[in-house]
Structure 1
Amino acid sequence: MNEAVEVKKLPQILYSCYLARNREGEQFVPEHIFSYQIAGSIVFSDGATEQTFKEGEFRFHKRNQLIKFVKQPPGNGEFKALSVYLDQDTLRSFSMEYGYKAEKPHEIGSAILPLKPHPLLTSYMESLAPYQQPNPPTDENLIALKLREAILVLLQANPELKDVLFNFAEPGKIDLEAFMNKNFHFNVELKRFAYLTGRSLATFKRDFEKKFHLSPSRWLQQRRLQEAYYRIKEKGAAPSDVYLDLGFEDLSHFSFAFKKMYGVAPSRL
């Protein structure tokens, strides 16, 4: 049985606006997200592939994914994006009212699906103009209507999304070694790794030590440092360019751990 994983309450309609260039980050995506790139571009990486979305493009984020991103404002402009979070309660209610059900398991594939331009998608995003203002609408009934409209619009423009939107299954138990070797560089809590591999936290720790003969925390640090050594020594990367990408929260902690493991500061390699 999976343990319940706490999910931070997300705004259901979110307008993003940034001036900073190349604003980097990473996140766990707990809910499906329908997004529109208003200005600038954004690059996503799920650990295996990279995808770039530019001004005027639509995308659909699948839930329960680990994602890194780089937001790039246009020259002398602001990065702008509009996102609609489709939570499981809303989708379950919609499924019961309209009778929509997933008919077949959706292939895992990419974490983010590009959506082809469609008049319905465009007109829907234009209707969200009030949510780009400093004081957006907060009426819960109005927001609920906009979420239901988003689902209807997505199903009309992309009928194949039905098997994604209405698949309410939680992550099943998967191969631990393959998953961790793909996702070790994501800086998320152990309970998140446990959830995504279909395990309780206790089972995750037990299975992990049986497979790797190390605690998860110890293995993660060693694996990240090994990758850092390779990138710095063999690829000529700068320590300041790799520590965040490999899940370390600050450069000083990374440098301390690196020197403790290899006997030399990363800057001296």
Structure 2
Amino acid sequence: MTNIHDFLAYLPGTCKQLVCKDILFAYYDCLQSQHRVDIYTHHSYLTFTISGGKHLHRAGKTWTLTKGCCEFVKKGAFIQEMYIDEGYRAITIYVPDPYLQNLIREHRRFYHVKTTPNQHTEQIIELTVNETTARFIQTVLAFFSNAILPTETVLEERFQELVYALLTNPANHNLVTYLNSLTERPHVSLYEVMETNYMYNLSLCDYARIACRSLATFKREFATIFNTTPGRWLIQKRLSYAQTLLEITGKSIADIVFESGFENGSHFSRAFKEKYGIAPLHYRQQNQKNLTAIGGI
């Protein structure tokens, strides 16, 4: 899978960029060469759609990002879908967890929002844009257009003003809830990272980066939590997810392979038959016959 943050950072000519400490500001104004791609990032990000649109798919849910939308996207993996013949313009700001944690601790005294500990928030949090947010977008667009780039100090000040505006807007309660929870735990939950990303074809190194751990620490902690190896756990979770897709959707086998994280169709078919004793297509046909028989009783 493509780590979109690293892709931009290591290929700065891909789109206009500004860097402030560990924060990456990216200005997209391009066509996507592929209709549907798997992407992930080990940093969460804020994204503002200026024109065009795209879909982000994740575990059976779809978010549509269109002109004027503002979203906070938690780190992890997605299927990104765009229309090849339409342009897409957006400002996206990638921010590592440690910077977010420090920033929220500094700002917490300025806003007073009661949140429930361990409250669930979606992987993509839709935000309300107010006048301050709109001014920020215009300011950053001007930064990208100017021949003289802003200093890191100016860029960071504008970003912190944006965060403050978002946090103090009552409509963005879910963002406050998530960021507060981020500051209240010393480490990213490895269990949460795996349960929300197992259906994507990520490497163990990718999972470790999302979890903010070295590969050795990731493997050691994984064994303690799941009492098995990451490879065995992933194959069983992906097979179970693929089985569900076969039973409740009409998606093609190729789409199921893609959406359940298998490297290719041959690997999927071999693993599925080994576990369930039957090929995926035959399993679907048998399941449909069983459902028809039950319905006819």
- Which region of structure 1 is more displaced relative to structure 2, 216-225 or 162-171? 162-171
Name the % identity: 17
Q: 1:40-96: CA deviations, max 9, x gaps?
A: 22323443643222211111224xx434132324x8431222112344336525744
The correspondence of residues 138-149 of structure 1 with structure 2, limited to 5 A, is 139-149=151-161
Which of 26, 29, 35 is residue 22 of structure 1 equivalent to? 35
Report SS of the residue matched to 1:224: helix
* Residue of structure 1 in register with 2:137 after alignment: 125
Does the CA contact (< 8 Å) of 1:66 and 1:186 recur in 2? Answer: no
Which residue identity does 2:86 align to in structure 1? Answer: G
Does the CA contact (< 8 Å) of 1:195 and 1:201 recur in 2? Answer: no
* Residue of structure 2 in register with 1:155 after alignment: 167
The correspondence of residues 42-121 of structure 1 with structure 2, limited to 5 A, is 42-47=54-59, 49-62=61-74, 65-73=75-83, 76-87=85-96, 88-89=98-99, 92=102, 95-96=105-106, 99-100=109-110, 104=115, 105=117, 107-121=119-133
Q: 1:156-182: CA deviations, max 9, x gaps?
A: 4357444544542245768x5x98565
Structure 1 stretches lacking a partner, 5+ long: 1-6
Q: 1:224-266: CA deviations, max 9, x gaps?
A: 24544664587453333232322234x3xx4145236527876
Report SS of the residue matched to 1:37: strand
> What CA distance in whole angstroms lies between the structure 1 residues aligned with 2:212 and 2:58?
16
Deviation of residue 36 (structure 1)? 0.8
Which residue identity does 2:122 align to in structure 1? Answer: S
Report SS of the residue matched to 1:262: helix
* Residue of structure 1 in register with 2:222 after alignment: 204
Which residue identity does 2:38 align to in structure 1? Answer: G
Q: 1:77-126: CA deviations, max 9, x gaps?
A: 31222112344336525744884588654622212221223222112111
Report SS of the residue matched to 1:16: strand
Change beyond 3 A, Cα 1:78–1:233 = same
Report SS of the residue matched to 1:186: coil
How many residues end up aligned between the 2 structures?
250
Change beyond 3 A, Cα 1:202–1:240 = same
* Residue of structure 2 in register with 1:247 after alignment: 261
> What CA distance in whole angstroms lies between the structure 1 residues aligned with 2:176 and 2:249?
43
Report SS of the residue matched to 1:117: coil
Report SS of the residue matched to 2:258: coil
Deviation of residue 194 (structure 1)? 10
Deviation of residue 217 (structure 1)? 0.5
Does the CA contact (< 8 Å) of 2:238 and 2:260 recur in 1? Answer: yes
Does the CA contact (< 8 Å) of 2:23 and 2:95 recur in 1? Answer: no
Report SS of the residue matched to 1:127: helix
Does the CA contact (< 8 Å) of 2:43 and 2:94 recur in 1? Answer: no
* Residue of structure 1 in register with 2:269 after alignment: 258
Query: Which structure has the highest helix share of the two?
Result: 2
**TM value normalised by structure 2:** 0.64
Higher relative contact order (CA 8 A, sep 6+): 1
Deviation of residue 223 (structure 1)? 3.6
Report SS of the residue matched to 2:121: coil
